[in-house]
Chain A
Amino acid sequence: SQTIHQWPATLVQPVGSPLSLECTVEGTSNPNLYWYRQAAGRGLQLLFYSVGIGQISSEVPQNLSASRPQDRQFILSSKKLLLSDSGFYLCAWSPGYNEQFFGPGTRLTVL
């Protein structure tokens, strides 16, 4: 069966500090991968998606970036965090059709 991991689970960072969140998927190959952000009390905002190694599409212009160095690894980064970057960051995977499955998420607080 497939499993998706995210770490860290929680993170508190000062404004202006860098960020690196990691997501890995087990039990499948060549998945589509997605990064979402959910602000408090809000819906899911798609940030990036990837259909293959090195292929990243950005949905929202901002100070975040994503990379996919390996087939089942997806990384979300920032060079300098803003207060507005606080939120619940969710990684999801899809077999390439229909449904997406979410990881446990990383709760980021920027102070």
Chain B
Amino acid sequence: QKEVEQNSGPLSVPEGAIASLNCTYSDRGSQSFFWYRQYSGKSPELIMFIYSNGDKEDGRFTAQLNKASQYVSLLIRDSQPSDSATYLCAVKGDNAGNMLTFGGGTRLMVKP
């Protein structure tokens, strides 16, 4: 069974610090990796995706992928209180329906 694991948190960081969110996955055939942000009571919104080993930067966000270690992370620089949310990691394998497997999410709290 394909699994995606995240620490549920909460991860607490001070405003202006770097928040580091981690995710591991079990399926070595996984091809693409996604990070979603979900505010309480709202639907998930896509932050970014990555499919090649290494780093991918988008504004204050950096996704890091290490396929050998089956590990993907999201760094948030200059964390703001508005970044406080649950961050969901999702993994896409080799499937015709473009199905994603989601982790349980990490709750991030950024304290002013």
Contact = CB atoms under 8 A, between A and B. Distances in A.
A108 to B, nearest CB: 14
B104 A43 contact: yes
A42 B105 CA distance: 8
Nearest to B31: A98
A49 B99 contact: yes
A96 B51 CA distance: 16
Nearest to B105: A43
B98 A98 contact: yes
Given A99-B34, A99-B49, A102-B43, A94 B98 contact: yes
Interface string A32-60: 10100000001110100101000001010
Given A98-B32, A98-B92, A43 B102 contact: yes
Contacts of B97: 32, 49, 51, 57
Contacts of B49: 98-99
Sort chain A's interface into a size bin. 20 to 34
A66 interface: no
Sort chain B's interface into a size bin. 20 to 34
B43 A104 contact: yes
16 contacts: A42-B104, A43-B105, A49-B99, A51-B97, A57-B97, A59-B99, A90-B44, A98-B32, A98-B92, A99-B46, A100-B90, A100-B100, A101-B46, A102-B36, A104-B43, A105-B43
Interface of A: 32, 34, 42-44, 46, 49, 51, 57, 59, 90, 94, 96-105, 107
Contacts of A99: 34, 46, 49
B23 to A, nearest CB: 12
Contacts of B45: 102
Given A90-B43, A105-B43, A100 B104 contact: no
